[in-house]
Amino acid sequence: MNGSVGMDLAEISRIRKAMENPRFLLEFFTENERAYITARHTPEQSAAGAWAAKEAFSKAVGTGVRGWSLREVEVLHDPLGQPVLRLHGRAAQQFSDYAFSLSISHTDTMAAAVVLAEKQGGK
């Protein structure tokens, strides 16, 4: 695979319900992600966007969530607000030879994310 795309949709109402259990954010999101999500005016939309990004990543790499965990795929934002992926642990090791691009969008009811995975030469 030289390059592939993954896309996912997340229902914001489903994420809002999941967030009623404090373990949801702790289990699937890093400390940085939780800080970003809880600081937002609509935290459920931000959480849904990050969730969709993690799922889109799993589709772009073609493995599903196997051999790594969703917490190892961190959704951050650059100084201009563009979402970016930072990989940790087994995900970082397994996909070290890839570069990723991420786009996230949402409405009042749905969040969407697209991840482009491109294999880098030489590794």
Q: In what order do the strands lie in the sheet with 110-119?
A: 3-11, 110-119, 98-106
Which residue is catalytic, options 77, 106, 119, 123? 106
Q: Say whether 20 counts as a known binding-site residue.
A: no
Residue 59 is among the residues annotated as catalytic for this protein? yes
- Taken in order 118, 10, 50, 105, the sign of the CA dihedral is positive
Query: What token pair was written down for 85?
Result: 């992926």
Q: Say whether 108 counts as a known binding-site residue.
A: no
From CA 55, how far away is CA 64, in angstroms rounded?
A: 8
Which residue is catalytic, options 17, 59, 88, 123? 59
From CA 8, how far away is CA 25, in angstroms rounded?
A: 19
Report the catalytic residues.
59, 106
Residue stretches of the annotated binding site: 8, 55
Residue stretches of the annotated binding site for Mg(2+): 8, 55
